[in-house]
Amino acid sequence: MFDIPELDSMVCSKLELGTMAKCAQVNKTWNRVLAPFVWRTIPKDTKYSAWRELCRFALEDLLQERQHTQQEQSPRTRRSTRTTKGASETSEAPKNTEPPPSPLAKNGHLVHQVQCAAKLLAGLERVLAMHMLSESAEHSKLTAQDLVRHFLRRCPNALMVFEMTNEHFDAPQKYRLALEILPRVDTLVITASYDSRKAVPVARLKQILTTTSDHLESLMINTPSFRSCIGATDRAMPSAKSSEPMMTSRPKKLKLRALVKSDSYAWLWRACGQVQELEVEILPNKVYAELVNAVQHSMPSLDTVTFSNCVRRDNYEVNDHQIASLVAAGTKGWKAVHCGTAARVGVQAVDAVLQHALTLEEFSVAKVQGSPRLARILQSSPKLRVFKAMDTTGIGSGSVPKVPAADLIDWNQEAKALRRWRCRARLETLAVRITDFPLRVRQPQGGVQAGDQHFVEVQQRVFQRLGQFKNLKVLQLGHSVDTNLEQLSCARLTLEHGLDKLRGLKKLEELHIDNMDHRVTQKEEVQWMVKHWPTLRKVIGLHRKSNACKWFKKHHPEIQQRPSN
């Protein structure tokens, strides 16, 4: 194990941090292998005692380093060194009594990620305050900045996730500490109170952006407004020029949340001109229009947009026209367009996405407006890998994404064959709710008319279309959420209805048929699946008491299941 790094990584990824720390204490060999995994990430959910111990390591290491420096620089030490050198001719030199290096000095270079920098700052500040109250610190002139800088020096490879709140903006000391770590931050979140009196000054945010470095990957603005005036608290802060920020960082991700009031955010768009991924939520019309203009003129690298799932306002939605206007403003060509539950996709939005069909790789939608014919995106996108038209929330009747069976089949009546779709060789994930299957004609006695072949024919053509996606790994036809809404008009998924048309899906790994009125109850269908889908590892939605579910449990327990009732 200890000579195979890939195996070490696989084993350690399954262990909890506390377990790895205990294993690292077994012997030197175990410590050599496990220490990089123990120290690599400092998680945000670490217990308070562990954070306190880490901060204590930093303080002890700094005190030890200062003491050693003072001893080397003192005249008495130099005289003692000369005396020891002369006496060495007649006696042995004194043994080295230098204490062993602290855990931080020994392992700090292994730290690559600090997931909660705010907790780290608070811990370092707290442990220093407790030290300054002791008698031994009477002549010590340590500051919180000294301790933070020492930690950063001991962990030269550490990058941080930092959320700045009013706690940092309102206190000068905390704000100065925040400025110390900003050059090491790769994920920065600006969160301020909804109270306009506590809004973040524009000048201070500009200073924050200029303090960051090229390590910054993601920037999230979660504040309703900024204020341009400078109050008494702001005058106590370090100088924050209000001029255009000269950023050395180029964040690749920008998330806008709750922006409401401002004369203009032009300075923000210019500062984030290299953004590649954009996520938006809760933007009023004025700010949204300004953002659309920025996407068109100030963000030439933008290729991914997400309309967030999280909704903080009642009845807040991004409508079809707004989605279409932002998508149409993209100049590079979209690789991914994700529309969460806060966005209703209609015909205009789909038409705008189709303008970028040649570059589109991922598309998802949770809510729709009207019948936008989503299958057109599948038909026209040669690079499409992920297509999800599925409401995974289980709420919102009338707005659930649907793909009619006729649209999915796309039958060419003249050629008597399916039309060729451009994504058939690239698609890896398909999540759709297929609807509008024809109803079977029933006899008064409850049976089905023998001459009704149209129902079976439509099912077979649907499976024929699905079977063309040779690279498909995930096929989701049902809602994998806790809901009482069962999809009645759906694919039956039996050999009689054309399941064997899917024999070409040799790479299929997951099948989701939850909350569907399917007919996979006997073992024949699941035996066929195991035989023709050799990479299958997950099946969601088999009926709990069916023979199919029992056969899977008995003969293939390695295939993960989540049966439905």
Q: What is the CATH number of the domain that holds 418?
A: 3.80.10
Q: How confident is the model at residue 453 (pLDDT cuts 50, 70, 90)?
A: confident
Q: What is the pLDDT of residue 70?
A: 74
What's 199's DSSP letter? P
Give residue 97's pLDDT band: very low, low, confident or very high (50, 70, 90): low
b vs e for 259-287, b when ≥16 Cβ sit within 10 Å of the residue's Cβ? beebeebebbbebbbebbbbbbbbbeeeb
pLDDT grade for 210, boundaries at 50, 70 and 90: confident
H/E stretch holding 67: helix 48-73
Structural domain contains residue 343: no
| 312 — pLDDT class (breaks 50, 70, 90) | low
Residue 26: band (very low, low, confident or very high) from pLDDT cuts 50, 70, 90: confident
Is the pLDDT at 454 greater than 50? The verdict is yes
Q: Could you tell me which residues come within 8 angstroms of residue 67 by beta carbon, excluding any fewer than 6 positions away? A: none
- Locate 521 and state its tokens: 């109850």
The residue among 385, 296, 294, 372 whose CA lies nearest residue 337 is: 385
Residue 119 lies in a domain: no
Q: Between these two residues, 4 and 414, which has the higher pLDDT value?
A: 414
Query: 527 with 547: CB under 8 angstroms?
Result: no
Most distant CA pair in the chain: distance in Å?
118
**Domain assignment of residue 529, given as a range:** 373-439+452-565
In a domain, 474, yes or no: yes
Any domain includes 536: yes
Instruction: Answer yes or no: is 428 within a domain.
Output: yes
**pLDDT value, residue 81:** 52
What's this model's pTM, rounded to 2 decimal places? Answer: 0.83
- Please state the domain count of the chain: 1
pLDDT higher for 154 or 446?
Answer: 154
Domain annotation covers residue 9: no
Quick: pLDDT tens for 40-73: 888 887 777 778 888 988 998 898 888 877 777 7
pLDDT at 270: 82
Tell me if 545 is assigned to some domain: yes
Q: Nearest CA to 187 among 222, 228, 154?
A: 222
Percent of residues, the chain, with pLDDT higher than 90: 44
